[in-house]
Amino acid sequence: MMRSYVVTGAASGIGAATKVMLEGLGHTVIGVDLHNTDVNGDLASAKGRAEILAHVVAASGGSIDGVITCAGLRAAAPDTISVNFFGTVEIVEGLKPLLEKSAAPRVAVVSSLSSVSPQDPAIVDAALARHEDQARAAVEASTPDHTGRPRVYSSSKTAVSRWVRQTAPKPEWGGSGILINAVAPGTVKTAMTTDVTASPEATASWLATLPNPQNRIGEASEIAAVLVWLASAENSMTMGQTIFADLGTETILRGDYIW
Q: What distance, in Å, lies between the first and last C-alpha atoms of the chain?
A: 33
| CA dist., res. 43 & res. 34, Å (int) | 8
Query: pLDDT tens per residue, the chain (259 residues)?
Result: 899 999 999 999 999 999 999 999 999 999 999 999 999 999 999 999 999 999 999 999 999 999 999 999 999 999 999 999 999 999 999 999 999 999 999 999 999 999 999 999 999 999 999 999 999 999 999 999 988 899 999 999 999 999 999 999 999 999 999 999 999 999 999 888 988 888 999 999 999 999 999 999 999 999 999 999 999 999 999 999 999 999 999 999 999 988 8
Q: Say if strands 28-33 and 242-245 run parallel, antiparallel, or are unpaired.
A: unpaired
**pTM for the complete prediction?**
0.96
Look at residue 191 in the predicted model and tell me its pLDDT.
Answer: 84
Active site positions, annotated: 153
What is the CB neighbour count within 10 angstroms for residue 62?
9
Q: Give the residue extent of every domain in the chain.
A: 4-247
- The architecture of the domain spanning 4-247 is 3-Layer(aba) Sandwich (3.40)
Helix, strand, coil shares, percent, the chain, to 5: 45, 15, 40
Q: Are 186 and 14 in contact (CB under 8 A)?
A: no
Length of the chain: 259
Of 93, 103, 90, give the one whose Cα is nearest residue 4.
103
> Which residues, in sequence order, are CB contacts of 199 under 8 Å at separation 6+?
none
The alpha-helical segments, DSSP class H, found in the chain are 13-24, 46-60, 78-81, 87-94, 96-99, 121-128, 132-141, 152-167, 200-209, 220-230, 249-254
Beta bridge partners, 7, equal 31, 68
Q: Which of 127, 131, 128, 54 lies closest to 95 in space, CA to CA?
A: 54
Q: Return the SS3 of 188.
A: strand
> How are strands ordered across the β-sheet holding 28-33?
39-40, 28-33, 4-8, 66-69, 106-110, 179-185, 242-245
Tell me which amino acid residue 183 is. V
